[in-house]
Structure 1
Amino acid sequence: MIEFGDVYRGRRVLLTGHTGFKGSWLALWLSRLGANVTGVALPPETSPNHWDLLGLDIASHHVDIRDKDALARVIADVQPEIVFHLAAQPLVRRSYREPVDTWATNVMGTANLLECCRQTPSVQGVLVVTSDKCYENHEWVWGYRENDRLGGHDPYSASKAATELLVASYRASFFHGSDAPVLASARAGNVIGGGDWSEDRLIPDVVRAVMHGTEVEIRSPAATRPWQHVLESLSGYLLLGQRLLAHQHDVAEAWNFGPAEEGNRPVQAVMERIASLWPAMHWHIANNASVHEARLLYLDSAKSRAGLKWQPVWGFDDALSATVAWYRGYLADGAVISAQQLDRYVQAARDAGLAWCQP
């Protein structure tokens, strides 16, 4: 089958944040699509980590995006046709401990990237990935749309809102001409999947607890999030990138990629489902007070469904089943089944009749 019109085959792609959880999965998919991928990121923070386990044969540069000169040298050498910008400080609780670094990486790092891209004639499109947390959260029971107000309580969320403002400013100031690169942004829900070992994230906390024979401590069991497998958001990014490479300026906007309504579940529901799939996992609710984190957050992805013909493939149960299967296989015998799960996902998308994966 042909995925995304085969537009990535032979393309020079710059991927920032390729050593991270989401970035490593995107590197895998782009490599499968035949793209000539160059990665820019800090070294992986954890051992094990998904990037090293994949063992992909792509050019990898350990560059801090806050270092504009170093970033500029890589981009000038690669001359990318499209840029997927995923590099970030992505953790809410760390942002309380390291607010200045969070702002510097997420906002000024993105500014550095956009400056380099607008001075590189080869660049046809840029996709900046932010977060569903970029919205000013009123704990509404309905989903946030792309034209809702931006904001953020914690430094991470606020920095992502500021990044969206930065992107809009660069689009209006420098990327608006017919010959200019097409600049878009993407906001995804809470992504899960195999290979994530980040600190203070629910699924990695579960895995670490199982590995050490301890119980998982849950801070906010009633907190509701838009849970989705990492491949869901990446299919949206790649679909949007296809339009960027076609130089379609009508997609130079912000786009939500969230799960179907049934994917909006409280943390407790996630834990109960994992426990049914993984009997070795045990958990309890924490008694200690925590830093502020939103209790309720939904995304409205109607715009992506209508404008990009994107839609989720795996539901809540499928996403959790795939995630648990990945970790159980790895912990049992070191198996890394990312490529096999990607094959299953694409086949499911084809069976569902999605346009991006038809023959």
Structure 2
Amino acid sequence: MKILITGGAGFIGSAVVRLAVSRGHEVINLDAMTYAACLANVAPVADSPLYSFEQADIRDPSALAEIFARYQPDAVMHLAAESHVDRSIDGPRTFIETNVMGTFNMLEAARDHWNVQGRPETFRFHHISTDEVYGTLGATGQFTEDTPYKPNSPYSASKAGSDHLVRAWHETYGLPIVLTNCSNNYGPYHFPEKLIPVIILNALEGKPLPVYGDGLNVRDWLYVEDHADALLLVLEKGTIGRSYNIGGENERSNLELVRTICDILDRLRPGAAPYADLISFVKDRPGHDARYAIDPTRIREELGWRPSVTVEEGLERTVCWYLENEDWWRPMLGRHGVGERLGKA
């Protein structure tokens, strides 16, 4: 297929770009190159004849129309989004403009393209979203595709809004869509403002390892390369109009996760004292969801997909990658807001 991938210079998007090109798909990477984007993320495929890059903003309808007309994609994978909860607390407007209005622009550009092409049955618009749209869970239970939406942060509310637009464009206009909601991703090329890279890099620098609140907030952790595999599978074989929850089947509390990273670093890069001694509990962020957990039954039973990497295996790979790729992460530390405590409003 010829796939237009938005946000392809970001963390998850670049994993999809790398995997899609390796599987023989032609990829057009559309990215605005905001603070979290990095073209080094796609360097392994940048010289491939199957790869093209377009710097454009999904908030610019005219740029989108020109790119659709020039490349004539067979499918769209829409990953471009503002995604950091703490930043959404400090500056929600950008999240609404990008995640809601940007998705609206993408849907309209895709619909115009689809209509001009004679509404081909093979066209797909795959919208990639998050489990955070469902809100928070108690000690038990899991999110299913039928769980009511109840977002609790400006970020999750903006993603919920974009999900609803995608569904509406399918029901109202017939646009052939599939939609996925994933759990927390981690792995190589993870921008160093998120929990796992913060812990790894702070530990290497001998800095405090910040853990919000009591550290008992629980997330389901999904290795990013497993996620990319699932996304391409849904694009190719998912049922039109259907949503699929993608989880890692690896629930851990934040404190458990941090301690596991410390144990790995103690083995691979031992310091003068155990890295866990650097753990520092800090004031919790507003509206911090207690627990996310995904029921992956639908994608497992309908498409035969399950994650291949346990959280222990994935964290080991991730730590090793950061130890071996300082030339990638070191320049990132100077980018806007990295290393600062955000989202305290």
Which bin holds the TM-score, normalised by the shorter protein?
Answer: 0.7 to 0.9
Root-mean-square deviation over aligned CA pairs: 2.1
Whether 2:27 is the aligned partner of 1:37: answer yes
Contact 1:21-1:50 within 8 A present in 2 as well: no
Q: Which residue of 1 aligns with 2:76?
A: 83
Contact 1:12-1:37 within 8 A present in 2 as well: yes
Whether 2:11 is the aligned partner of 1:21: answer yes
Name structure 2 gaps, 5 residues minimum. Answer: 330-345
Q: Which residue of 1 aligns with 2:264?
A: 277
Q: Which residue of 1 aligns with 2:161?
A: 162
Q: TM-score, normalised by structure 1?
A: 0.81
Q: Shift of residue 49 of structure 1?
A: 6.7
Q: Shift of residue 285 of structure 1?
A: 2.7
Contact 2:135-2:289 within 8 A present in 1 as well: no
1:10-159 correspondence runs (5 A): 11-43=1-33, 45=35, 50-51=40-41, 53-54=43-44, 56-57=46-47, 58-121=51-114, 122=117, 124-139=123-138, 141-159=140-158
Within the candidate set 232, 235, 258, 1:238 is matched to 232
Aligned-partner Cα distance in 2 for 1:213–1:49: 29
Aligned-partner Cα distance in 2 for 1:202–1:138: 20
Within the candidate set 291, 295, 298, 1:300 is matched to 295
Amino acid at match of 2:132: K
Q: Shift of residue 198 of structure 1?
A: 4.0
Amino acid at match of 1:20: G
Aligned-partner Cα distance in 1 for 2:84–2:323: 25
Q: Shift of residue 184 of structure 1?
A: 0.8
Q: Which residue of 1 aligns with 2:338?
A: none
Q: Shift of residue 320 of structure 1?
A: 1.0
Q: Which residue of 2 aligns with 1:316?
A: 311
Q: Shift of residue 46 of structure 1?
A: 5.1
Q: Please list the CA deviations of residues 200-226 of structure 1 after superposition, one character each: whole Å capped at 9, or x if unmatched.
A: x11121233145331221114111000
Change in Cα spacing, 1:55 to 1:30, as seen in structure 2 (3 Å) is: closer
Count residues in correspondence.
Answer: 311
Q: Shift of residue 153 of structure 1?
A: 1.2
Aligned-partner Cα distance in 1 for 2:304–2:295: 14
Q: Does the residue aligned with 2:141 lie in a helix, a strand or coil?
A: coil
Contact 2:212-2:281 within 8 A present in 1 as well: yes
Q: Which residue of 1 aligns with 2:339?
A: none
Contact 2:196-2:258 within 8 A present in 1 as well: no
Q: Shift of residue 73 of structure 1?
A: 1.0
Name structure 1 gaps, 5 residues minimum. Answer: 1-10, 176-180, 245-249, 336-359
Whether 2:228 is the aligned partner of 1:228: answer no
Contact 2:137-2:290 within 8 A present in 1 as well: no
1:328-347 correspondence runs (5 A): 328-331=323-326
Contact 1:19-1:44 within 8 A present in 2 as well: no
Amino acid at match of 2:254: V
Q: Shift of residue 286 of structure 1?
A: 2.5
Q: Please list the CA deviations of residues 183-211 of structure 1 after superposition, one character each: whole Å capped at 9, or x if unmatched.
A: 01111111110111242x11121233145
Q: TM-score, normalised by structure 2?
A: 0.84
Within the candidate set 270, 286, 309, 2:281 is matched to 286
Within the candidate set 198, 207, 211, 1:214 is matched to 207
Amino acid at match of 2:11: F
Aligned-partner Cα distance in 1 for 2:43–2:36: 12
Q: Which residue of 2 aligns with 1:188?
A: 182
Q: Shift of residue 59 of structure 1?
A: 1.5
Aligned-partner Cα distance in 1 for 2:228–2:33: 22
Report the identity percentage: 25
Contact 1:42-1:62 within 8 A present in 2 as well: yes
Q: Which residue of 1 aligns with 2:241?
A: 252
Q: Does the residue aligned with 1:278 lie in a helix, a strand or coil?
A: helix
Q: Shift of residue 48 of structure 1?
A: 7.0
Q: Please list the CA deviations of residues 167-192 of structure 1 after superposition, one character each: whole Å capped at 9, or x if unmatched.
A: 111110112xxxxx520111111111
Within the candidate set 182, 187, 191, 1:197 is matched to 191
Q: Does the residue aligned with 2:325 lie in a helix, a strand or coil?
A: helix
Contact 2:167-2:241 within 8 A present in 1 as well: no
Q: Shift of residue 88 of structure 1?
A: 0.2
